[in-house]
Amino acid sequence: MKVYKYGDNVDTDVIIPARYLNNPDAKSLASHCMEDIDANFAGSVEPGDIVIGGANFGCGSSREHAPLAIKTCGVKCVIAKSFARIFYRNAINIGFPIMECPAAVDGIHPGDTVSVDFQTGVICNETTGETFQAAPFPAFVNGIIEHGGLLNALKARGVAC
Partner 1 sequence: MGMTMTQKILACSAGLDTVEAGQLIEGKLNLVLGNDITTPVAITEFRKAGLSSVFDNNKIAIILDHSTPCKDIKSAQLCAVCRDFAKEHNIAHFYDVGKMGVEHALVPEKGLAAPGEAIIGADSHTCTYGALGAFSTGVGSTDMAAGMATGLAWFKVPSAIQVKLTGKLQPYVSGKDVILHLIGMIGVDGALYQSLEFTGDGVAALEMDDRFTICNMAIEAGAKNGIFPVDEKTEAYLQGRVNRPWKAFTADPDAAYTRTVEIDLSTLRPTVALPHLPSNTKPVDEVAGMPVQQVVIGSCTNGRLKDLREAAAILRGKTVADGVRCIVIPATQQIYLDAMAEGLLADFIKAGAVVSTPTCGPCLGGHMGVLSDNEWAISTTNRNFVGRMGPTSSKIILASPAVAAATALTGVVTDPANI
As a whole number of angstroms, the distance between CA 136 and CA 119 comes to 8
As measured in angstroms, the least distance from the Cβ of 128 to partner 1 is 28
Does position 86 interact with partner 1 (CB under 8 A)? The reply is: yes
The smaller minimum CB distance to partner 1, of residues 124 and 154, is found at 154
For residue 108, the tally of other CB atoms under 10 A from its CB is 24
Longest CA–CA separation in the chain, Å: 49
Binding mask 36-75 for partner 1 (x = CB under 8 A): xx-----------------xx--xxxxxxx--x-------
C-alpha to C-alpha distance for 125 and 129, rounded to whole angstroms: 6
| CA 46 from centroid of its chain's CA atoms | 14
Residue 96 phi, psi dihedral angles, 5° rounding: -105, 120
Nearest-angstrom CA–CA distance, 161 and 75: 31
For the CB of residue 127, give the shortest distance to partner 1 in the complex, in Å: 29
Under the binding rule (CB under 8 A), the answer on residue 147 touching partner 1 is: no
Binding site for partner 1 (CB under 8 A): 9, 11, 13-14, 17-19, 21-24, 36-37, 55-56, 59-65, 68, 82, 84-86, 89-90, 93-94, 138, 140-141, 149-152, 154-155, 159-161
